[in-house]
Amino acid sequence: MELTRALIGAWRELLNLCRLRADEIVVILVGDITIPAHLSAARLAVGDTGCACMIVELGEPRIQRIGGDSTTIAAPTALTGNRSAIAALREADLVIDMMGMYRGSEQEEILAAGTRILLVKEPPEIFIRMRPTAADKLRVKAAELRMQAARTMTVRSSAGTELIAKLGQYPCLAQYGFVDEPGRWDHAPSALIARWPDEQSASGVVVLDRGDTILPFKKYVQTPITLEIESGYVRNITGGLDARYLKDYMESFKDPEGFAVSHLGWGLHDRAHWTMLGMYDKQTNGMDARSYFGNFMFSTGPNAEAGGARHTACHLDMPMSSCSLWLDDVQVLEQGHVLAVEQGR
C-alpha cells in the first residue's frame, strides 16, 4: 500500500512537471512490457488533472525481443505501419509510452504533430527513487549549451581510452525525465546529455574496464575490453571472455552498421547510482547505469533518431565510470567526476 501511494504521488509530480493541463488529451500506450502498477498509477494521476485519457493497447512486438527484454534491440514494434494507432497518438497532447515504440519514423511523425512523448519502463521502486525534478532539467540544459557549442569531444581514461570525435552534424540528446514542450520526447527517469558524432569522425581506442557496464547485458565488465575505432566504426574487439561475448553478440545481427559509433555523452542524475545495476534483476531498464553522475556513455548502432541513415537493430549503451572528457579545450569530466561548470548549480 505504501509503495502504491508513493507511486501515485511520483506520477502526480511528473505530470505537473510535464505541464499537463485539464483541457489536454492523454494517451497511454500499452504493450507486452507494460508494468501494471505504472498503468494503474498513471491513470489515477491523469484522472486527478481532469484530462481526457485513452488507453491504446497494441500487443506483441513484430520482432520477438531476446529474453523478453525491451532494450535488447532497436527494431519496429506493433505500432509500425499501424496508421490508425499513429493517427490517434498524433491527436494526443501527451503520450505516455509504456510499450517502447521504435525511435524511428513513427515516433518522429507523432512528435512533428506537437505531441509530447514520455517513455516509462523502469520498475516502480526505481521510478520513485529517481523521479524527475526541476533541478535535473537545469543541470542537463547547462550541459546542453556547452555540448551544442562544441566541435570536438575528447575522452581519456587510465585504462587506455583515447577517443576523439567531431561534433556539429547531429543534434544533442538532452534527457531530464519530463516533457514540458510540444514535440518533445524524453525518458523518465533519466538525466543525461549526449550527441551523435559526425559521420566517420570518431577514432581511437575505447577500453571498457572492470566495473563498467554494458546494456542491454545489464552486467558489470569483469575482463577489460579494447575497442579499436576508425572512421566512425568499431573495427576490432579484443580481450578476454567479456570481449568475446560482446563481439559474438554484435556479429549475430549480421549488420556492419551495428558497429558504428552512436551517441556519446555523460550522466547528470544525482539520485542514480553506479551500484544499483547489481541490485535488480534484468528487467530493469538500466537507467541508473545510464544516468549516474559522471559516467561517460559510449554507444554503438543507430543514429536515425538524430536524423541519420542508420536503422540497425543492434544498439548498445556502455556507461564507463572513470573517464575524463573534454569539449573542445574545456574539461567537463575528470576521472568520472562532473566539474562544477557543468552542474548547473
pLDDT digits (tens, 9 = 90+) for 119-156: 999 999 999 999 999 999 999 999 999 999 999 999 99
**Cβ proximity of 30 and 57 under 8 Å:** yes
**Among positive and negative, which fits the CA dihedral 140, 288, 286, 330?**
positive
* Alpha-carbon gap, residue 102 to 262, rounded angstroms: 16
Residue 185 lies in a domain: no
At residue 145, φ and ψ (nearest 5 deg) are -60, -45
Of 74, 96, 121, the last residue of a domain is 121
Residue 18 lies in a domain: yes
Sequence-ordered list of residues with C-beta below 8 angstroms from that of 290, at least 6 positions apart, any chain? 190, 192, 215, 267, 272, 297, 317, 319
Residue 127 lies in a domain: no
Q: Which of 2-6, 71-75, 182-186, 308-312 has the highest mean pLDDT?
A: 182-186
Residue 308 lies in a domain: yes
Indicate whether 245 and 290 sit together in one domain.
yes
Indicate whether 197 and 334 sit together in one domain.
yes
Of 121, 143, 158, the last residue of a domain is 121
Alpha-helical runs (H) found in the chain: 2-17, 36-49, 83-91, 105-112, 124-129, 134-149, 241-251, 287-291
Of 121, 144, 159, the last residue of a domain is 121
Indicate whether 216 and 109 sit together in one domain.
no
pLDDT value at 72 more than 70: no
User: Max CA-CA distance within the chain?
Assistant: 57
Indicate whether 230 and 99 sit together in one domain.
no
pLDDT band at 342 (very low <50, low <70, confident <90, very high): very low
Edge to edge, the sheet with strand 203-208 lists 233-239, 225-230, 203-208, 162-166, 152-157, 323-327, 330-334, 337-338
Indicate whether 152 and 283 sit together in one domain.
yes
pLDDT tens sequence across 164-173: 999 999 999 9
Indicate whether 143 and 252 sit together in one domain.
yes
Residue 183 lies in a domain: no
Q: What is the pLDDT of residue 60?
A: 63
Indicate whether 111 and 146 sit together in one domain.
no
Q: What is the DSSP string of 59-117?
A: -S-SSPPGGG-TTSB----TTTT-HHHHHHHHH-SEEEESS---TTHHHHHHHHTT-EE
Number of domains in the chain: 2
Q: What is the pLDDT of residue 68?
A: 47
Residue 278 lies in a domain: yes
Q: What is the pLDDT of residue 78?
A: 81
Task: Supply the range of the domain harboring residue 10.
Answer: 2-121
Indicate whether 87 and 203 sit together in one domain.
no
Place of cell 561517460: 296
pLDDT value at 345 more than 50: no
pLDDT tens sequence across 13-52: 999 999 999 999 999 999 888 999 999 999 999 999 999 9
The residue-averaged pLDDT of 194-205 equals 98
Cell of 125: 521502486
Indicate whether 63 and 99 sit together in one domain.
yes
CATH assignment of the domain containing 106: 3.40.50.2300
Q: What is the pLDDT of residue 281?
A: 81
Residue 128 lies in a domain: no
Indicate whether 145 and 278 sit together in one domain.
yes
The mean pLDDT of the chain is 92
pLDDT value at 65 more than 70: no
The residue-averaged pLDDT of 164-191 equals 97
pLDDT band at 242 (very low <50, low <70, confident <90, very high): very high
Count of other CB atoms within 10 angstroms of residue 309: 9
Cell of 128: 520513485
Burial label for 254, CB within 10 Å (0-12, 13-18, 19+), is exposed
Indicate whether 50 and 148 sit together in one domain.
no
Indicate whether 306 and 244 sit together in one domain.
yes
pLDDT band at 1 (very low <50, low <70, confident <90, very high): confident
Return the bridge partners of 151, or none: none
pLDDT band at 186 (very low <50, low <70, confident <90, very high): very high
